Amino acid sequence: MTATGIGAAVKRKEDYRFLTGQGTYTDDINRHGQTYAYILRSPHAHAEIAKIDASAAKSAPGVIAIFTGADYDKGGLPAGWQIHSKDGSPMVEPPHLPLCKDRVRHVGDQVALVIAETYAQAKDAAELINITYKELPAIVSTANADKQGSAQVWPEAKNNVCYDWHLGDKAATDAAFAKAAHVTKIDLVNQRLVPNAMEPRAAIGDYDRATGEYTLFTTSQNPHVIRLLMGAFVLQIPEHKLRVVAPDVGGGFGSKIFHYAEEALVTWASAKVNRPIKWTAERSESFITDAQGRDHVSHAELAMDKDGKFLGLRVSTIANMGAYLSTFAPCVPTYLYATLLAGVYTTPAIYAEVKAVFTNTVVVDAYRGAGRPEATYLLERLVDKAAREMKMDRVEIRRKNFIPRDAFPYQTPVALQYDSGDYHTTLEMALKSSGWAEFESRRAEAKKRGKLRGIGISTYLEACGIAPSAVVGSLGARAGLYECGSIRVHPTGSVTVFTGTHSHGQGHETTFAQLVSDTLGIPIENVDVSHGDTNKIPFGMGTYGSRSLAVGGSALVKAMDKIIAKAKRIAAHLMEASVADVEFKNGTFTVAGTDKSVPFGTVALTAYVPHNYPITELEPGLEETAFYDPLNFTYPGGTHICEVEVDPDTGVTKIVNFTAVDDVGRVINPMIVEGQVHGGVAQGIGQALLERCVYDEQSGQLLTGSLMDYCMPRADDLPNFKVATHATMCTHNPIGAKGVGEVGAIGSPPAVINAVIDALSPLGVTDISMPATPLKVWQAIQGAPAKMAAE
Amino acid sequence: MPTVEMTVNGKRASAQVEGRTLLVQFLREKLGLTGTHVGCDTSQCGACVVDIDGRAVKSCTMLALQAAGAKVTTIEGLANGETLHPMQEAFRDNHGLQCGFCTPGMVMTAIDLVNNNPNPSEEQIRHGLEGNICRCTGYHNIVKAVRAGAAAMKG
Amino acid sequence: MHDFGYHRPASAADAAGLLAKNAEAKVVAGGMTLIPTLKQRLAQPSDLVDLGGIAELKGIKAEAGGITIGAMTPHADVARSTEVQKTIPALSALAGGIGDPLVRNRGTIGGSVANSDPAADYPAAVLALGATIRTNKREIKADDFFKGMFETALQDGEIITAIHFPKPDKAGYSKFPNPASRYAIVGVFVAKTGGGVRVAVTGAGPCAYRSKELESALSSNFTPDSAKAVKINAAGLNSDLHATAAYRAHLVSVMAARAVAAAS
C-alpha cells in the first residue's frame, strides 16, 4: 500500500475549500438579474381552496409575478417505482402537482409562488394574498389511516390504501408456525423522522431565452435523475436544453434524492419572468416539505423449535406514504424492507405483508438506511424478546441462527441472494471490543451509584449498492440503477475523473482519486474528481443506497480498464512490441522479458501528440467512459453493541459505550469509512433516544416543526465510538466494496433500545418504544412491575 | 435605508441595509462572504457563527445595524494566506468535517471555546459545542479535532 | 421579519425617551428571544430601541455584600466573573448553563428577566435570592416582579437597568434541560439565607415561582433527601411533548435535591 493508495487514510482533498468558507452551495450562487421566490404554503392539513385573491400582493413593492395552481400548465411530480398489490392491481398513484389547484393535503403544501426583487419583498407580498380555505377533516395516524371513518386523502385510494403488497411463501410460513415449539410476538412502531441535512434545500432556475436552455442549480444527490424526471415528466424540456447542477451540497441522507416541487417551479417560472429565480428553504419550511423517513407500524411473530432455532417469520406492516408519492417512496417499505427480513439468520420461511397508506402529512421517502433500519429494528427487537422468552442467552440465540460462513452464496426466502459475509467474526470482534463478558461487574458497580446499567446487541445485515437494473425493473423500478464514470487523461498525464455519483459529505473527491491514482500509478495530486453537473458528466444515477463506491467506483474501474487497454496498444507501438506482451504496473508499461518501459505520462502525451502512433488502427486521445450495472446488491453486515446507564431519578439514558464492527467489503480510505460509521451511528442513536416527528391528531399540524422541538443529536448527547471493520469482499464487483454510508443508521437503533430494556429489565420492564426519551423511560420505571410491587 | 459600517476580516465594510437586515445577510449578500451559513431559523444550529469583538455569536440572531463599528471575523478571515489556522488544520487532520456546511460555525465556535479555555476536557468540548449542530460526523472527530486544535493553538 | 426603525441610544434616559415617542416600539437587549420572534413574524414593532450601546447598563460590581449586575451584561460575563464566583457561585454556574456559549455571548440578564419566559433560568435565581430589579423608574422586589407567562411588573417604557443580588449563605441551581431547545423543562434554585430558605422553580409553571413545600421542607432540614421527599402536586404545571405535568412535578423534587447537593 502506498501513502495515498487503496487502504490509506488520505486526508480529504475537498476539505480546504470547506474549511476556508469557499465551498459553493446552491444558496451561495447568484445569477445576474436574479429574483427571489417565496412559496406560500398551506396552513391546513386538509382543505379545499375556495378562492385565492392575489390582487393586492401583485402590486406590492418589488413583486414581479405571482403564480397559483390555476397558472400552472405542466405535469406533476412522478413516482419512480410502481408496486403491485397482492391482487395484481397497480398501486394508487395520485397526481402530485407542484402547485395545488383546488385542494391542499398537508401543512406545507404549495399554494402560491411569489417572485420579487428581494426575498423579504416576496415574503411581505405573500402576506397580502388572501386565500379562502374550506377545512376538511385530516388523518395523520399511520395505524388508523385504513380504518373505517378516517378522513380520505384521495378519492381514488379507498381507505387511504396505496397498495397492499406481500412477499414470501405464506403456506410454508404457516406450516412452520404449525410445528413451532414457541412463538414470540411483538408490536413495534418505527417512528417518523425528519432528515434535517444541515443545508436547507435550495434551487435556482435560470432560463436563457437566446438559446432556449434552462439551468437548474439544486441541492440534489442526483442531478441527472432530476434532469430526467423534471425534464421528461414534469416540464417536458428535452435533456439537451436542460442543465442541472448540484454543486456542493450540505448533507442529504436521502432527503435530497427526490424531485421536489420547488425545483420544477423555479425552472418553469424563470422562463415566464425571463429572469433567474432563487428559492432557499427556511428550516421551518424544511420541516414541512422535505421528505421524511421511516413511519412504520408493525406486528411480527417468530416461530422457533424447542432449542430456539428459527422456523418461520410473519410480519405485517403499515407504512405511511404521506399525502403524495415521493420519488422512491413506494419501494422503501417493500423491496428495501421486506426483502431484508431474513437478516443474518437462516429462517427458512418468511411471509411479509405491507400496506402503504396515504395521510395528510409530509411525504415519506428514503432516509439513511431506507427500509433496512426498519427491518433490522424489527428483527433485532424480536430476537432479543425471543431469547428472553426462551430463557436463552441473547448472543447464543443469534449464533445458533446465523447463516454460516460457508453457506455463501446464500439464497434467502425473501428474494435476495447474499454473496458473502462472516457474521460470527464481526460478532466475536464486537463482543471482545465491548467487554461483553465482563458486563455484569459494570452493572453491579453502576448499581452502587444508583444507576441502571444495560447492554444491548444488534447483529444486522443490509442490502445496498443499488442496484441491478434488470432486477429492480422487474420489481417495478421505472429507471435503471447503473452508474456512469469517465476517465479523461490529459496530455501531460494528469486525470480528471467524471462520476455520475454525487458527494455531499462522503468524500468522493478523495476516495475516487485514491482509486484512480492507485490503479493508474500516478500521484494523487494529479487526479481531480468532477461531479454534480449534467453538462460535464455524461450520465449518472447519483448517490444514495450506499452505492457510490460499489457501483460508481466500479464504473470508474471499467473506464480505467478501457484506458489501460488502449494505453497498452500505444505503449506496444512505442516499444515495438506485441500488445499481448505489454504489462502495466505502478504507472509503467513494460514488455515481459525485456528492459523496455514507457511511463504512463509518455503514453498520455503520445495519445494527444500522435506523431509516432498506430493511427490507422487507433484513434488519438485518451478518454474513456463506462457504464456499470451491478450483478447483485451488496450485503454489508456486522454487530453493534451499546452500553447505557439510566438515571432512575430522571429517566435520562446516557450511552457509555458504543462498539460497531462492520463488514463493508473493501475499504479504500479507512478514515472516511470510520467517519461514515460515526455519522450513521449518531443518526441511529438519534432515532433510538431523541428524534421523533409528531403531528397533532386533530389538526394535522406538525408539533415538532423546528429544532426547538425536534431533538437533533448534539455533541453532548453522544459518546465516542469504537469502530472496526472486518472485510469479506463483495464477489461480484471489481473493487470488492460493499458500502458504508448507511450501516451505522441500520445497525445501531436496536442495539440502543435493547440496551435500555436490559437496563430496565431488573424492574421487569420488557418494552420501550423509540425514542426512549427521559419522559418515556421514567414512565416505564413508574409503571414497572418491580416498582409497582415495591409501592 | 441606513448605512452600516464595520470592520470585517480586517477591512472596512459598509452598505445600505434595512433595519431588519440580519448580520448574516449583510455578510453573505452585501459582502459576498458566503462561508457563513444559515442552517436554521430558531438560533439552534450554529452554522452562522462569526466572531464579533472577540466573542463567537450567531450572526442569524443579530441585526447588521447592531454590529455597527464592530470588528467581525468570519471563516474567510481565519487563514493566514495559504496557511490554515491551527483549528482549521486540526479539523482537516482529524476528518472533523464531511459535507462542510456546519464547519465554518463549528470552527469559529471551537476557536472561541479554546480562547476561553485553553485546555478543554472532552466533556467541556462536548458542552461547548452545544450550540452547533452537525448531522454528518456524529461529533466524534469534531471533538478530536478541537482537542488537537487546542493543543496546536498553544504551540 | 417585518421592517422597523432601528435606534441605538447612548443612555437609558434616551432609550426611555424613544420608547415614550413610539407606542409600537420594542426594546432589544441581547435579542436572543426577540430576534427569532421577529423572524417568525410573530411580532411587528414599529421601532427597535437597542440597549446595546448604553455603557451604564453593563458591568458587574460588588455592592452591600452582594452583587449588582447591569442589565446588559451578557451571561458569559456573569459566568466568568470572579466576583460572582466568589460571592454567589450558584449564579455564575446558572449563567454558564444558559442556552449555549454563543447565546451566552449575546444574551443578557436584563433581557432574560424582562421577558419572563416560563423556561428561562435567571428568573429562578432572581426569585430564590430575593433580588431587587432596578429600573429607570424604581426598584422592584423579586417577589413582586414575575406576573405570568411573558408578563412582569414592568410598565410601558420601563427599562431594567440592573439587578442586585444579596449574598446568600449557600445557594445552588440544578436544571433539567429540554433535550431539543435546551431551555429548562424544570430548573430549581435553592438559597439558604439569613431570612430562611427560598426555593424558586422555573420551567414548570407559567412563570418562575417559589415553592412553599420545598421551602418548608428545606427550612427544617437543608439536605438533598429532604428535598427529594417532597411530593409536588402536578396540578397546574406545564405539560408538553417533552414532559407531562406529573413528570415535571417529580423533576422539581429531584432538581431541588441536586441543587441542595450542589449548594455552596
pLDDT, tens only, A439-487: 999 999 999 999 999 999 999 999 999 999 999 999 999 989 999 999 9
pTM above 0.95, yes or no: yes
Chain B residues whose CB is inside 8 A of the A21 CB are: 33-36, 74-76, 104
Kindly state the average pLDDT of the residues C132-158: 96
Looking at A8-12, A82-86, C19-23, C106-110, which range is the least confident one?
C19-23
pLDDT at A791: 58
For residue A565, give every residue at least 6 positions away whose Cβ sits within 8 Å of its Cβ, in sequence order, or none: none
Residue indicated by cell numbers 413451532: A180
Contact A773 C179 (CB under 8 A): yes
Nearest-Cα distance to chain A for B69, in Å, is 23
Between helix A670-685 and helix B140-154 the angle, nearest 10°, is: 120
Kindly state the average pLDDT of the residues B6-19: 97
Contact C254 A649 (CB under 8 A): yes
pLDDT at C195: 87
Strands (E), A224-263: 242-245
DSSP A633: -
A248 and B CB contact within 8 Å? yes
Residue B148 neighbours by CB distance under 10 Å: 18
Kindly state the average pLDDT of the residues A493-505: 97
Kindly state the average pLDDT of the residues A412-438: 98
Contact C247 A711 (CB under 8 A): no
Strands (E), A521-581: 527-531
Give A164-191 pLDDT, tens digit per residue: 999 999 999 999 999 999 999 999 999 9
Give A98-110 pLDDT, tens digit per residue: 999 999 999 999 9
Contact B112 C105 (CB under 8 A): yes
- From the list C242, C238, B127, the residue with the least C-alpha distance to A773 is C242
Contact B58 C39 (CB under 8 A): no
pLDDT at A1: 67
pLDDT at A2: 84
- The chain A residue lying nearest B142, using CA atoms, is A715
Nearest to B39 among A14, A15, A200 (CB): A200
A62 and B CB contact within 8 Å? no
Confidence of residue A789 (pLDDT cuts 50, 70, 90): low
Interface of B with C in 74-113 (CB under 8 A): 109, 112-113
C180 and A CB contact within 8 Å? yes
- CB B30 within 8 Å of CB B41: no
Give A244-303 pLDDT, tens digit per residue: 999 999 999 999 999 999 999 999 999 999 999 999 999 999 999 999 999 999 999 999
Confidence of residue B1 (pLDDT cuts 50, 70, 90): confident
Alpha carbon dihedral C107, C111, C113, C115, in 10-degree steps, equals -110
Confidence of residue A44 (pLDDT cuts 50, 70, 90): very high
Phi, psi of A20 (to 5 degrees): -110, 10
Burial class (CB in 10 A: 0-12, 13-18, 19+), A763: buried
The answer to whether the peptide bond before residue B13 is cis (omega within 30 degrees of 0) is: no
% of chain A with per-residue pLDDT over 90? 98
Interface of C with A in 105-144 (CB under 8 A): none
Give B101-150 pLDDT, tens digit per residue: 999 999 999 999 999 999 999 999 999 999 999 999 999 999 999 999 99
Nearest-Cα distance to chain B for C53, in Å, is 9
The bridge status of strand C146-148 relative to strand C151-152 is: antiparallel
pLDDT at A624: 98
pLDDT at C188: 98
Buried b (16+ CB within 10 A) or exposed e, A55-90: eebeebebbbbbbbbeebebbbbbbbbbbebeeeee
Give C208-251 pLDDT, tens digit per residue: 999 999 999 999 999 999 999 999 999 999 999 999 999 999 99
Contact A717 C251 (CB under 8 A): no
For residue A143, the number of C-alpha atoms closer than 13 Å in the C-beta half-sphere is 9
Contact C254 A650 (CB under 8 A): yes
Give B34-88 pLDDT, tens digit per residue: 999 999 999 999 999 999 999 999 999 999 999 999 999 999 999 999 999 999 9
pLDDT at B143: 98
- Kindly report the average pLDDT of chain A as a whole number: 97
Interface with B, mutate which of A10, A12, A19, A286 (most B CBs under 10 A): A19
Chain A residues whose CB is inside 8 A of the C181 CB are: 707-709
Q: ipTM of this complex > 0.85?
A: yes
Contact B128 C101 (CB under 8 A): yes
Strand C139-141: give its sheet, edge to edge: C60-63, C66-70, C160-165, C132-135, C139-141
Contact A708 C176 (CB under 8 A): no
Evaluate if residue A604 carries a pLDDT over 90. Answer: yes
- Cβ pairs A/C, distance under 8 A: 39
Contacts 24+ apart (CB under 8 A), C243-249: C243/A775, C243/C178, C243/C185, C243/C186, C244/A775, C247/A651, C247/A775, C247/A778, C247/A779, C248/C185, C248/C186, C248/C203, C248/C204, C249/C204
Confidence of residue A785 (pLDDT cuts 50, 70, 90): confident
* 3-class state of residue B59 by DSSP: helix
Confidence of residue A788 (pLDDT cuts 50, 70, 90): low
Kindly state the average pLDDT of the residues A356-377: 98
Residue indicated by cell numbers 413511519: A295
Residue indicated by cell numbers 448534539: A714
The bridge status of strand A293-304 relative to strand A652-663 is: unpaired
Contact A709 C180 (CB under 8 A): yes
DSSP A550: I
pLDDT at A280: 98
Q: How many residues does chain B have?
A: 155
Evaluate if residue A790 carries a pLDDT over 90. Answer: no
B140 and C CB contact within 8 Å? no
Contact C102 B116 (CB under 8 A): no
